[in-house]
Structure 1
Amino acid sequence: MLKKRGSFVLGTMVLALVFAGFADARDLTKMNFQLNWKITGDHAPYYVALKKGWFQEEGLDVNILLGQGSAYTVQVVDTGKAEIGISDAPVPIKGRAQGAKVKIIGIIFDKHPNCMYFWRESGIKKPQDIVGKTVAVPAADGHYVMWPAFAKQIGVDPASVKFVNIEPTAKPAALASKKADVVFELYTGKPFMEKAVPPEHLGAILWSDHGFNAYAHSYITRDEVIQKNPELLRKFLKAAYRSWDFTLKNPEEAIRILAEYHPINQTDLLANLKLVMEFFKTDRYRKFGIGYIDPDRMRDTIDTVGKYMNVKIDFKPEEAYTSQFLPSPPYKLAF
């Protein structure tokens, strides 16, 4: 009799826990998070947050959507298909100037990783040598959107190159097959490019080495979410930057976790992530924490968009970004 009673009590406890779990799941706020691209190493933090339950701790049920470029992210967020997304900072700034109700709420990379790759034997030695060349890049890629700004900074006509539209995953193949003379890709994509083109034949020019100092990858949202659900933004950024803090300290484990969600080459993506980490090692992040938005640098980024990307900036800089949802205290790195 005691055995039956014990089994009944145990069964009741299990059912209670199950129903409690369902209740917790129902209490979570569902949201969509739009990535900027297909899966790469810098997406590992969001799967770390899923695996470790950090989004759930914040009361969020986060659905992660694969991306197609920064311009696509701006469109998805602006039209309400996602609450938060990742985009190169100049792209949502341009979008806002053109009527999109989007705003930057946190920075990811503190240095800009835009880069051009080419065969060394092509004769390209400096960025100006791209004139007259064919460039492969997806139409929604942040590089394509920001090219006019960089072109004008280095003193060349943005129309002096011929663009070939390709799929996001086709960049290494486009260069390897010489479908184009140049491929625009992030410097952090170097491990993938080196698998397609022998390293001794691969040339690369980082835009930031030639004066392009705009802010790079950032988190964006739309005005409606800021007005109606500010706590969602605060909770998401707390979990996201907590996960970045973990990932930057434990890159191998972060990539192993990413591999539980997507079929990836862990060696390649770990190499990719370790390059990503270099773009976090700045005095700003050391002093103010990851995610920090420097008002002066943001103002310079907005000025760059207005000056070089053929749009009229008719709003105050503070209308394009806000720091109010960043974690407090911030996550600081020791390096």
Structure 2
Amino acid sequence: MKAALLLRALTASLVAALLAAWPAGAETLDKVSFGTNWVAEAEHGGFFQAVADGTYRKYGLDVTIVPGGPNENNRMLLVAGKIDFFMAANTLMSFDAVANNVPVVTIAAIFQKDPQVFLTHPELKITRLEELKPLTLFISKEGMSSYFQWLKSEYGFSDKNVRPYTFNAQPFIANGQSAMQGYVTSEPFAVEKAAGFKPNVILLADNGFNTYSTLIETRADVIDKKPDLVQRFVDASIVGWYNYIYGDNSAGNAMIKKLNPEMTDELLAYSVAKMKQYGIVDSGDSLRDGIGAMSDERVASFFNKMVKAGVVRSDIDYRKSYTLRFVNKAVGLELRPKN
């Protein structure tokens, strides 16, 4: 009996000693998985930055980024409960989720502006979207079913000049009377390298195509059961994006290059510069409410435009596609340069 009591006392003393030696504030990190919609690139940089520089860990998170790609469907993994968060391309995906009863919710909009542009040859000196109408337009199948329907509805574009865009710039380079779709952060760089000329760009977001882009999605059940974890992931991601855009992003870029060796320092620097120049990440409401900002008015405006263009049905309850619960809190504003 005495031996048993002595053993208990020694055990209690050992536990107390271990607890005393445990670092102040140490805690078990919550494991989180986040799926992107493409291979690692600068357009995902803030998320990689938050992993690489320890920001997620400061928020109590052990985050694994699961890169997407041409043969990956990380959104399905989110729906199936295999990952916790997903990076959706734009608000149209959010509307589509509601229309098809997919139980995902947008919780932050990292890009205030969609990076979608049209590239034109410099000698055409085109500065307005309407001036693209007479040109041969190289547009992808996805573009035809989304933003081009808005161009027809809003600006009177026609299908007759459209040619398939197969993500090969050569047809555009060879045809001086053409325009090609692309992202402001990448395709102009590729064309300049391949053709030796600097294309003009027309950003659709600056002409009324006001979708949010690079959204963070999660499942409704994650919001219900783990709201604190959701808030910490959103906040840490926002801080990661401030650090990537305005701070030392070398850690994030090193991680991107390790996962995607095709990413060069030159392209990464170009992409970041264009995101800053055009206000892709930080402009409009985010200047007041912080990166990730969203508003009811903005979502309603885009929904109405897409209904008018015949892209989405008018009877869906688009308000179910997103929540403002986790954004507009001015997180990270102090990280933006003052000048």
In the aligned structure 2, how far is the partner of 1:289 from the partner of 1:274? 19
Give the C-alpha shift of residue 207 in structure 1: 1.1
Q: Which residue of 2 aligns with 1:151?
A: 152
Q: Secondary structure at the match of 1:292?
A: coil
Q: Secondary structure at the match of 1:188?
A: coil
In the aligned structure 1, how far is the partner of 2:145 from the partner of 2:40? 20
Whichever residue aligns with residue 265 of structure 1, its letter is T
Q: Does 1:215 align with 2:212?
A: yes
Q: Does 1:45 align with 2:42?
A: no
Whichever residue aligns with residue 203 of structure 2, its letter is L
Q: Which residue of 1 aligns with 2:232?
A: 235
Q: Which residue of 2 aligns with 1:10?
A: none
Q: Secondary structure at the match of 1:290?
A: coil
Indicate how the Cα distance of structure 1 residues 58 and 159 shifts in structure 2: closer, same or farther if over 3 A, else same. Answer: farther
Q: Which residue of 1 aligns with 2:221?
A: 224
In the aligned structure 2, how far is the partner of 1:245 from the partner of 1:146? 29
In the aligned structure 2, how far is the partner of 1:143 from the partner of 1:59? 43
Indicate how the Cα distance of structure 1 residues 134 and 301 shifts in structure 2: closer, same or farther if over 3 A, else same. Answer: closer
Give the C-alpha shift of residue 273 in structure 1: 0.8
Q: Which residue of 2 aligns with 1:5?
A: none
Q: Does 1:97 align with 2:99?
A: yes
Q: Which residue of 1 aligns with 2:245?
A: 248
Say which is worse superposed, 236-245 or 223-232, in terms of deviation.
223-232
Whichever residue aligns with residue 269 of structure 2, its letter is L
Q: Secondary structure at the match of 1:324?
A: coil
CA contact (8 A) 1:114 1:206 kept: yes
Give the C-alpha shift of residue 103 in structure 1: 1.9
What do you get for the CA RMSD once the two structures are aligned? 3.5
In the aligned structure 2, how far is the partner of 1:76 from the partner of 1:150? 33
Q: Which residue of 1 aligns with 2:90?
A: 88
Q: Decide which of 110, 113, 131 is 1:111's aligned counterpart.
A: 113
Q: Secondary structure at the match of 1:209?
A: helix
- Stretches of structure 1 that go unaligned for 5 or more consecutive residues are 1-15
Q: Which residue of 2 aligns with 1:268?
A: 267
How many pairs were matched up? 305
Give the C-alpha shift of residue 296 in structure 1: 0.8
* Deviations 1:177-198, CA, capped at 9 Å, x for gaps: 77x9543211122323322232
Say which is worse superposed, 83-92 or 291-300, in terms of deviation.
83-92
Say which is worse superposed, 292-301 or 215-224, in terms of deviation.
215-224
Q: Decide which of 188, 191, 197 is 2:189's aligned counterpart.
A: 191
Q: Which runs of 4+ in 1 moved over 6 A?
A: 121-125
Q: Which residue of 2 aligns with 1:13?
A: none
Indicate how the Cα distance of structure 1 residues 174 and 144 shifts in structure 2: closer, same or farther if over 3 A, else same. Answer: farther
- Stretches of structure 2 that go unaligned for 5 or more consecutive residues are 1-17
* Deviations 1:134-190, CA, capped at 9 Å, x for gaps: 5253x5x57854332233222124576233444xxxx55664577x95432111223
Q: Which residue of 2 aligns with 1:33?
A: 34
Q: Which residue of 2 aligns with 1:7?
A: none
Indicate how the Cα distance of structure 1 residues 38 and 156 shifts in structure 2: closer, same or farther if over 3 A, else same. Answer: same
State the TM-score, normalizing by the size of structure 1.
Answer: 0.75
Whichever residue aligns with residue 319 of structure 1, its letter is K
Whichever residue aligns with residue 135 of structure 1, its letter is F
Indicate how the Cα distance of structure 1 residues 313 and 34 shifts in structure 2: closer, same or farther if over 3 A, else same. Answer: farther
Q: Which residue of 2 aligns with 1:3?
A: none
Q: Which residue of 2 aligns with 1:135?
A: 138
Indicate how the Cα distance of structure 1 residues 239 and 38 shifts in structure 2: closer, same or farther if over 3 A, else same. Answer: same
